[in-house]
Amino acid sequence: MRAAGRLARRPVVGVGAVFLGLTFGMGALAPHLGFLFPEGTRLVYTRATFPELVASHALLTGSASLIAIGIGLAAALFATRPSGRAYAATLDRLGALAQTFPPVAVLALAVPSLGYGDLPTAFALVLYGVLPVMGAGMAGLRSVPASVLEAADGSGFSPAGRLWRIELPLAAPILLAGIRTSVTIGIGTATIGSTVGALTLGSPIIDGLSGDNPAFVLQGTVLVALFAVTVDLALGEVQRALPRRAP
């Protein structure tokens, strides 16, 4: 009970409630916002309902993030094993380089080969999401002191046992910070996917910008911002809940 009470006072609960409330209430709220905008502005977005937009946005960023976390973690593991250590510097450089491409450019390049819609968006999201995870994974695994690794080897851990019981738990705080960055960036970046036809919270923003409709822009922006902040705070709670004592 006390734990539940403490949790209820965490910011994630409040921000999350506002996000969910606006997701389901935007349809009812929108017609009453006319005073904010120039006379004659269409106030209700009709291409899709906001719960549909949020669900589609969440599915797209969620699946892209899972793939990105998988690839990023695998790359970080590879780069910190004896067999892959020679590639670590290359992966570091590749990571830094890939982050300099603007997301729109990635989308534009992806469309000819992947077509319009979710696929090029997911591709861009994965590409962007991998790097923070990979970087944080490498930093986290490298932060485990050499003495701890030597003691683990000397105690007779198998390589997999050492990774699972010693290295990953000790790398977890830094790794999770990277995952948090990756997912939060992904939620924001996904809006750009609507320029190539993906259904996301970017759809009202893009339609509003091209149709000169500030109401749509505001509705999409507020929701995507709340979405990103909610997820960021939620992952922050996971970080807090991790066992104490990083090295």
Partner 1 sequence: MIRFEGVSKSFGGAKAVDDVTLSVARGTICALVGTSGSGKSTLLRLVNRLLEVDAGSIRFDGEDVTRLAPVELRRRVGYVIQSVGLFPHWTVERNIATVPRLLGWSSARIGERVAELLDLVGLPPGLHARRYPDELSGGQQQRVGVARALAAEPELLLMDEPFGAVDPPTRRGLQDSLIAIQRRTGTTILLVTHDVEEAIRLCGTLAVLHHGRLLQTGTPASVLTHPASDEVARFFGGPLLGLNRLKALRVGDRAHVADPPAAEGEPIDTDATLETALARMVAEGRSRLPVRHLADGRSGVLDLADLVRP
Q: Tell me which H or E stretch contains 152.
A: helix 146-155
Query: Of 175, 168, 176, 184, nearest to 237 (Cα)?
Result: 176
Number of neighbouring beta carbons within 10 Å of residue 44: 14
Query: Of 193, 190, 179, 154, nearest to 238 (Cα)?
Result: 179
Helices (H), ranges, the chain: 2-8, 11-29, 50-80, 88-98, 103-114, 118-142, 146-155, 159-161, 168-189, 202-210, 214-241
Name the residue nearer to partner 1 (CB basis): 116 or 157: 157
247 interacts with partner 1 by CB under 8 A:
yes
As measured in angstroms, the least distance from the Cβ of 146 to partner 1 is 8
Name the residue nearer to partner 1 (CB basis): 159 or 211: 159
With CB under 8 A as the contact rule, the residue among 12, 22, 148, 177 that binds partner 1 is 148
82 interacts with partner 1 by CB under 8 A:
no
As measured in angstroms, the least distance from the Cβ of 69 to partner 1 is 22
147 interacts with partner 1 by CB under 8 A:
yes
CA–CA separation, 220 vs 191, rounded Å?
A: 9
Per-residue contact flags (x/-) with partner 1 for residues 166 to 185, judged by CB under 8 A: x--xx---------------
150 interacts with partner 1 by CB under 8 A:
yes
Q: Taking CA 244 as the corner, what is the angle to CA 2 and CA 79, rounded to the nearest 5 degrees? A: 135
With CB under 8 A as the contact rule, the residue among 11, 25, 161, 214 that binds partner 1 is 161
User: What is the distance of C-alpha 164 from the center of its chain?
Assistant: 25
157 interacts with partner 1 by CB under 8 A:
yes
164 interacts with partner 1 by CB under 8 A:
no
As measured in angstroms, the least distance from the Cβ of 237 to partner 1 is 20
85 interacts with partner 1 by CB under 8 A:
no
Tokens describing residue 185: 């960036």
Count residues near partner 1 (CB under 8 A): 23
CA–CA separation, 189 vs 200, rounded Å?
A: 10
Task: Catalog residues that contact partner 1 under the rule CB under 8 A.
Answer: 145-158, 161, 166, 169-170, 243-247
